[in-house]
Chain A
Amino acid sequence: MNKDGFYALRIHPIVFMGVVTIVCVSILSALYLSTQDRVEANELFFLRRSVLDAAGISHDGTVDDVQSLYETSVVETDGKYSIQGDGNAPVTVVERTGPGLWGPITMMIGFSSPEVLSGISIVSQNETPGLGARIEEPWFTAQFAGKTGPFILVEEGTSDASNEVDAITGATRTSRYFRDIVNVAVSDGPSIYGGQ
């Protein structure tokens, strides 16, 4: 074969690249398809766990427990999750998304009355690891439970009144974005909770 010929310079690289691409794409497609069920199950688990967390229902974090609790207590209608607690007031959970510092923050917000929150849990966020990402820490989301909005932020560790929550030190802007998303949901509270 002529090393500088038309074939070696023009055709061979294209054919070679095509073959390598087909091999690589086939491997990845096979891997993707074989893990698809698992990935979907993971996503469903995260979603259900968020709903339970926002509704203030305690679970042990295992797949089985979350699934059985969800199936016995949660009814989903039009993107709203209604939970009829035993003896407690019913809870309505909605998903809300709003801008964060780097990307959107998506969360589940639970209402135990048109004004009072039952809890909040984060579905996804892209805040600064170690600073803004601390919104995922339980202490931060837990402080909304049982409180009445609209909320105001106070310095970390000083919240007192029923509409005050601690901001995160070093993540003032993430805290503000988070508060805004929650407050918008709170202002829709009557239609979210009463609409069921």
Chain B
Amino acid sequence: MEDNKMAKGIYKKTFMAPLGKDNPVFVQILGICSTLAVTNRLDNTLVMSLGVIFTLALSSFTISIMRSWIPSRIRMMVETLVIATFVIIVDITLKAFYPEMWKSLGPYVGLIITNCIVMGRIEAFALQNKPSVSLVDGIASGIGYAYVLLIIAFVRELMGTGTLFGFTILGDWWTSWAIMIMPPGGFFMLAIFIWIAKEAFMKEATS
């Protein structure tokens, strides 16, 4: 009974941490390259986020299963190989079944391999924890990444082109801010987001 309760607590803690006080993007500042690159359109951001959640969850899970057999000196090679495998699965699946989306994402899907969050969670978490908890950690870190990106993309697409998911929201009166969809807009939005997030709900954690 006591064990059961504790186990449940671990899952909950593992799931909640990446959404708030251990968020990979605005606390650990990982995965910034893709945060800046894909957030100028919501549809690209959504697919990219799903790709990252998938890769993160399954590569954490796989590495966690293999963790006691992987020779520690070559663990990073094995991790990279496993991550790359899942990323290519995402890439091939998109190419075969959602070709329009695959075309518009271009090289970004392949760049999930270089997303530091994936490698970071495996090194920091999956190597020390059992598969089920690692899977939860992977999913939660992916969601923590996804919601930050979606919020940034929401503001950038709305202000940059007056649309959301490609549908016009703001009328002709709106002058699109070209800077919002260019790389500087990503930096501005990310900085503002980190600032607001730290001010709003990180205060108790630090004091």
Contact = CB atoms under 8 A, between A and B. Distances in A.
B116 interface: no
Contacts of A13: 71, 73-74
A38 B96 contact: yes
A171 to B, nearest CB: 9
A35 B160 contact: no
The bracket for how many chain A residues form the interface is 20 to 34
A130 B161 contact: yes
Contacts of A27: 85, 89
B92 A42 contact: no
A170 interface: yes
Interface stretch (A17-25, A79-87, A183-191): A17-25
Nearest to A133: B104
A20 B81 contact: yes
Given A126-B106, A130-B161, A17 B78 contact: yes
A32 B161 contact: no
A89 interface: no
Contacts of B41: 129-130
Contacts of B85: 24, 27-28
Given A39-B96, A129-B41, A12 B71 contact: yes
A131 B182 contact: yes
Given A35-B92, A129-B181, A24 B103 contact: no
Interface string B56-89: 0000000000100111011001100110110011
B173 interface: no
A82 B78 CA distance: 52
A169 B81 contact: no
A24 B69 contact: no
A6 interface: no
Interface of B: 40-41, 44, 66, 69-71, 73-74, 77-78, 81-82, 84-85, 88-89, 92-93, 95-97, 99, 103-104, 106, 157, 160-161, 178, 181-182
